[in-house]
Amino acid sequence: MSHYIKPSKKIWTGRQSEQQLYLHEKVVCLPIGDLQRQSGKTFALLGYACDEGVKRNQGRVGAKDGPQHIRRALAKMPNHLPQKKYVFDLGDVICPDGDLESAQQQLAEHVAQILQSGALPILLGGGHDMAYGHYNGIKKYLISEKRRPSIGIINFDAHFDLREDSNGANSGTPFYQIANENDPFHYLCMGIRKDANDRELYRTAQKFGVKYLERETFRMQFVEEINKWIKAFLKGVDHVYVTIDLDGFSSAFAPGVSAASPMGYSQDIVLESLKTILSSNKLISVDIAEMNPKYDVDDQTAKLAASLVHFIVHSLS
């Protein structure tokens, strides 16, 4: 059974300008099988329309519809990209019949394919279980290029997502799975909350040498120290994969997630942190996880996710 659906131009609508003033006029829908080697800077959007991992993790389902809502919000935003910078929508990886493992495998193959084309993958989720497939796709690409796969993960999140996978994979297990399969394991979490992680998860983080900043420290008044942490982490890796779990934000900014909380962080510190990461020239791929439109308010969370994508592509152009 196929775990992929082609992109649809119908989702990319908004004001008409005939001058590509808006992103819906800029984005090109392209089946991933038609993706060719890119000579210039190209951004490739790929959805992960799956919340089976959230369901298995006893969370609120609905994130499978997240990619489409992020696209709708992004479509209406202004386009400031140079004419020769391209943005492709490559469609979605899906999860029929709850086959999470096959969806993750399919995702890995597509991420490797995007990287081989020379484009920057920007994945839209969907449950955070996509991190496992995403990471493996990056690794597969680097190995195929005979390059040292030294991949650092920076996760903006309230949760470690280091739960054991003895009962199968879910949205809480991806980094535990990655840690068990990769030595060394380079993992930095930003925004961890004690009210969202039990003692065993902290022990697991210590076991794997995870570096993390808790929510109390991850705020604007400590931005200089935070950037020092990020720069120190970046020095130890060749490439960095950034994953942004929307449930790390306060529900004041992101009500539409699988596990909302008013105790999360603000968007300001995430943007400042992203500036430091993007300026390192080590970013290899990025995703945004846990967008759950079922619980969104006035598309607030979708707009936050879209604004993060908008910020990343324009900062790199």
Q: For 54-86, how does the pLDDT look when each residue is reduced to its tens digit (9 = 90+)? A: 999 999 999 999 999 999 999 999 999 999 999
Task: Give me the pLDDT at residue 204, please.
Answer: 98
Instruction: Name the H helices within the chain.
Output: 23-26, 52-56, 66-75, 100-117, 130-144, 174-181, 199-207, 223-235, 267-278, 300-315
Distance of CA 78 to the CA centre of its chain: 22
Amino acid identity, position 251: S
Those residues whose C-beta lies under 8 Å from the C-beta of residue 312, and which sit 6 or more positions away, are: 122, 274, 278, 286
* Residue-level pLDDT at 146: 75
pTM score, two decimals? Answer: 0.97
Q: What is the pLDDT of residue 162?
A: 98
**The pLDDT of residue 103:** 98
Which residues on neighbouring strands pair with residue 115, listed in sequence order? none
Buried b (16+ CB within 10 A) or exposed e, 57-82: bebbebbbbbbbbbbbbbbbbebebe
Give the residue ranges of the annotated binding site for Mn(2+).
128, 157, 159, 161, 245, 247
**Distance separating alpha carbons of residues 98 and 5, to the nearest angstrom:** 16
CA distances from 87 to 41, 130, 317 (A): 9, 21, 11
pLDDT bracket for residue 276 (50, 70, 90): very high
pLDDT digits (tens, 9 = 90+) for 253-268: 999 999 999 999 999 9
Residues 180-237 have pLDDT tens digits of: 999 999 999 999 999 999 999 999 999 999 999 999 999 999 999 999 999 999 999 9
- Domain residues for the domain of 269 are 4-315
Q: State how far the alpha carbon of 86 is from the alpha carbons of 26, 68, 79, 81, 315, in Å.
A: 8, 20, 11, 8, 14
Is the model's pLDDT at 1 over the cut of 70?
A: no
What average pLDDT does this structure show over 27-49?
A: 94
**CA atoms within a 13 Å half-sphere pointing along the CA-CB vector of 51:** 22
Taking only the tens place, the pLDDT of each residue in 128-143 is 999 999 999 999 999 9
The Cβ-side half-sphere exposure at 285, using a 13 Å CA radius, reads 32
The pLDDT, as a whole number, for residue 59 is 93
Number of structural domains found in the chain: 1
What is the signed CA dihedral for 109, 118, 17, 77, rounded to 10 degrees? 60
**Close Cβ partners of 281 (under 8 Å, ≥ 6 residues apart):** none
Cα–Cα distance measured from residue 307 to residue 235, given in angstroms and rounded to the nearest whole number: 28
| Rg of the chain in Å (alpha carbons) | 18
Summarised one tens digit per residue, pLDDT across range 193-206 is: 999 999 999 999 99
Across residues 286-299, what is the average pLDDT? 98
CATH number of the domain to which 264 belongs: 3.40.800.10
pLDDT digits (tens, 9 = 90+) for 105-119: 999 999 999 999 999
Confidence band for 144, pLDDT divided at 50, 70 and 90: confident
Binding residues: 128, 157, 159, 161, 245, 247
